[in-house]
Amino acid sequence: MTNIYRRFRALFLTALLTTWVKIHRNCTVNGLLVCSAKFPRLELAGRVTLGRLSFEGVLTAINLGARKGATLTMGNWIGINQGVSIVALNSITIGDHTLISDYVTIYDSMYHPTLPGEETFTAPVVIGRNCLIGNGAMIMPGVTIGDNVVVGARAVVNKDIPANCIVAGAPAKVLRTYETPEGWFRYPEKLAGH
């Protein structure tokens, strides 16, 4: 009975979320939004473009969206786990087949000045295709992450990261590089559940 309830709940939340977001004037949805746990908190004051996404927030809701004048663009086959916060104040772009682990935060703004008399720092964030962002990692404003990058758990990414590498630490440093076979994806369509 529990499995039937979970499946029905996931189907209901998926239909509700996809329908609600599609009718919002600032949001473009290019695929199904699969929600198998808590309903995400969406901020749709800015321009939001979503591909096929999977929300897996069992214990903690996911914060996602764009504030007025900002843009959030997410590709297809992206998996987002619980406690993730991605709210654009400037511009955030995330490529296809990217996996975002629990409690990741992606910032394109510092939200407040760090010193008296300074402007609040905001800069676009771009995350490439086929990336894996580890548990609790922070992506800071102005960062570009290349394709096929693995960001280690609790890493603080405050500088651009080249493609095909593994980074970890605070601040994040490249630990090693690797080759990615053509057509290999972390989150292939056949496993995406939609």
Number of structural domains in the chain: 1
Categorize the per-residue pLDDT at 25 as very low, low, confident or very high, splitting at 50, 70 and 90. Answer: low
pTM of the prediction?
A: 0.85
Contact 127, 75 (CB under 8 A): no
Number of H helices and E strands in the chain, helices first, is 1, 20
Q: What would the pLDDT profile of 131-185 be if each residue is shown by its tens digit?
A: 999 999 999 999 999 999 999 999 999 999 999 999 999 999 999 999 998 888 8
Q: Which two tokens stand for residue 136?
A: 């609790």
Residues labelled as active-site residues: 112
Give a yes or no: residue 158 inside a domain: yes
> What are the DSSP calls for 48-104, one per residue?
EEE-SEEEE-SSSPPEEEE-TT-EEEE-SSEEEETT-EEEESSEEEE-TT-EE-TT-
pLDDT of residue 135: 97
- Distance CA(98)–CA(168), nearest Å, equals 17
Percent of the chain with pLDDT over 90: 50
Tell me, what CATH number does 57's domain have?
Answer: 2.160.10.10
Give a yes or no: residue 189 inside a domain: no
Domain with 24 in it: 2-178
What b/e string do you get for 17-41 counting C-beta neighbours within 10 Å, with b at 16 or more? bbeebeeeebbebebbbbbbbbebe
Give a yes or no: residue 28 inside a domain: yes
Q: Which two tokens stand for residue 39?
A: 């309903």
Give a yes or no: residue 90 inside a domain: yes
Categorize the per-residue pLDDT at 17 as very low, low, confident or very high, splitting at 50, 70 and 90. Answer: low
Half-sphere CA count of 96, side-chain side, radius 13 A: 8
Give a yes or no: residue 194 inside a domain: no
pLDDT of residue 145: 98
Give a yes or no: residue 170 inside a domain: yes
Contact 164, 177 (CB under 8 A): yes
pLDDT at 193 over 60: no
pLDDT at 192 over 50: no
Give a yes or no: residue 183 inside a domain: no
Identify which of 48-52, 55-59, 133-137, 183-187 has the greatest average pLDDT.
Answer: 133-137
Give a yes or no: residue 12 inside a domain: yes
Contact 95, 73 (CB under 8 A): no
Q: Average the pLDDT over each of 34-43, 50-59, 67-76, 178-187 and give the range with the smallest value.
A: 34-43
pLDDT of residue 111: 81
Q: What would the pLDDT profile of 65-103 be if each residue is shown by its tens digit?
A: 899 999 999 999 899 999 999 999 999 999 999 999 999
